[in-house]
Amino acid sequence: MAINGSTKLYGILGHPVGHSLSPVMHNAALAAMGINGVYIPMDVTDIRAAVSGLRALGFIGVSVTIPHKEEVMGCLDEIDPVAQRIGAVNTLLFRQKPGEERVTARGFNTDWLGANLALAEKIPLTGSRVLVIGAGGAAKGVCFGLVEAGAEVVITNRTKAKGQALADWLGCSFIPSDQVGDIHADALINTTSVGMEPDVDGIAVAPALLDNFSVVMDIVYAPLTTRLLREAEKAGCQTIDGLSMLLFQAAVQLKIWTGEKPPQDVMRRALVEELRRRKAS
């Protein structure tokens, strides 16, 4: 589809963002839906200036990734009640109301839905015990969803004050990083950027501790098979890569932006093909 004056603008804000698989997935979906639109990656450090620029440029919808999911909330006109409760936003919708000059920016959070749907493919969420590593914007969404689904959540984080604050807000447990070895749970979820390109040798938990978990999930998807997931497979764990969560949460984003049901099969195929291309190059 040719880009012209009627092309709708979408994209993703993050830092770094060059590794993101979202553009290939969303562009494939837009094309399959017959929408004259383009989705572009935007590496930004000044989130307030970025949101202001998106308003002026006429963007329709934007994804927000690390490290802007919390700070972006201060740049918005409206925040969905669920995102407000979570305290993090990963989806922006821009709209100009009839008769008004100002473009309004509304924030949503679809991370929690993506994580729940991905983990539910492996274990029942209700009654399960899950250790979550991290306390940033992604962790807020993941932990919120698990608690809503009836799981027992235990949080660990390098910065104790931040991790304890998230645990207190959710009414769940917090343990310092040096006590992770004492925890046995149905699943472990890494919500940090540890192990993400270019730091592919990074790992969020010592490999020797992974046999304490039945399922290990990493929200990092670049690389798709992180060191954490490789070590978890060696320990006999079931693993969930960042692709499933990415796909599920992105499908919800597209529904918010377009009002139409997204083609998840097309999106998954585009992701797999792009990963194969990157591996071959």
Name the 3-class secondary structure at 15. Answer: coil
- The answer to whether 78 and 107 have CB atoms below 8 angstroms apart is yes
Length of the chain counted residue by residue: 281
Alpha-carbon torsion 117, 122, 124, 129, what sign? Answer: negative
Q: How far apart (Å, rounded) are the C-alpha atoms in residues 272 and 212?
A: 30
Summarize the chain as % helix, strand, coil (round to 5).
45, 25, 35
Alpha-carbon torsion 152, 156, 162, 164, what sign? Answer: positive
Catalytic residue among 8, 69, 160, 234: 69
DSSP characters over 111-123: HHHHHHHHHHTTS
Query: What CA–CA distances, in Å, run from 44 to 24, 50, 137?
Result: 19, 7, 17
- The answer to whether 33 and 262 have CB atoms below 8 angstroms apart is yes
* The dihedral formed by the CA atoms of 29, 34, 37 and 40, expressed in degrees to the nearest 10: 20
Alpha-carbon torsion 126, 249, 265, 43, what sign? Answer: negative
- The answer to whether 27 and 38 have CB atoms below 8 angstroms apart is yes
Say whether 8 is catalytic.
no
User: What's the DSSP call for residue 10?
Assistant: E
- As annotated, the active-site residues are 69
